[in-house]
Amino acid sequence: MRNLSGILIAACMTLAAGCASSKAPELPALYVEGTQLMAAGKPVAMRGVSFGWHNIWPRFYNKEAVKHLHDDWGVQLFRAAIGADDHAKADNPGIHGGYMGEPEFALECLYNVVDGAIESGSYVIVDWHSHLLHTAEAKDFFTKVATRYADCPNVIYELYNEPVNDSWAELKAYAEELIPVIDSISTVHPLILMGCPHWDQDINLPAEDPLTCYDNLMYTVHFYAATHKDYLRERSDAALAAGIPIFLSECAACEASGDGPMDMDSWQAWSGWAASKGISIITWSISDKAETCSMFTPEASSEGPWKDEVIKPWGTIVKNWL
């Protein structure tokens, strides 16, 4: 599987003025061919990192952090996890509200990361980070974001992070409402990602009844290696065989709780499987929580660069893997 770096170097031209910076390198548009992600006629499989919830760790949502992650860690793909509602407040009292409660703050955080990624010559996922259905609010959010980045091939849209709802019919109807909103605004036919039921585990359900309203679409699967093992890869293999393109938009080596011990054998099985299938992977997360999957200690600066002593074990693994 061809690495993206050669494509990025070959595509260094100036962006249109609307795409954040006239000095940024232009990236080729991403598109789906069968089950494979493509760019400039070549298959691509990217490795990247996700920022934690914007309303819990807004301090990392800045251009300097993006630049250091790109320059020092080699990140080619970022994910900005924009909390939709106040779900995260249950375990984190005193934090900012989600987009629905504090939309201006959410967009400020998002634009910092997206603009920074564009200026660094990286792709970036705009993630509506929700566990519950908020159709009207999501339409409002994606209308604003798609309008700002209408001509930017860097921007990928993730419609729904981890649906808890077990009804694919309801989620399919949601996607069928959201996709035309983005597609009617964007001039670059952007890559769109859609989640599936039960925290992005039931990829078999869209495989049985896929979306047909848009052709540049992939479905997200999330794994936490100490919890999710062969069965989820087998389910994903069956979906691929049915023609369903998969994007691993969130994962870590620990348990599904985000904590507990890392299972490195399972992590190697997952990362090797993804590489063999040409599937892109995003790791979770740029944050400083006292849990296994957070990559930094609280002593880490918000902007970087980061010395080894403030990078937690999972962060070191991800940095080396990148």
Known catalytic residue at 64: no
Q: Which amino acid is at 186?
A: S
- Which residues are CB-contacts of 67 (< 8 A; sequence separation ≥ 6)? 116, 119, 120, 304
Can you state the angle between helices 103-120 and 135-148, rounded to 10 degrees?
A: 40
Q: 250, 255, 303, 309: which one is catalytic?
A: 250
The answer to whether the beta carbons of residues 49 and 40 sit under 8 Å apart is no
How many Å apart are CA 49 and CA 113, to the nearest integer?
Answer: 12
What letters, b where the CB count within 10 A reaches 16 and e where it falls short, cover 33-45?
Answer: eebbbbbbeeebb
Q: Closest by alpha carbon to 183, among 100, 175, 69?
A: 175
How many Å apart are CA 193 and CA 162, to the nearest integer?
Answer: 12
DSSP state of 255: -
Q: 119, 158, 162, 255: which one is catalytic?
A: 162
How many Å apart are CA 298 and CA 318, to the nearest integer?
Answer: 18
- Which residues are CB-contacts of 230 (< 8 A; sequence separation ≥ 6)? 269
Known catalytic residue at 162: yes
C-alpha R_g of the chain: 18
Q: Closest by alpha carbon to 151, among 27, 12, 249?
A: 27
Q: Where are the beta strands (DSSP E) in 84-161?
A: 123-129, 155-158
Catalytically annotated residues: 162, 250
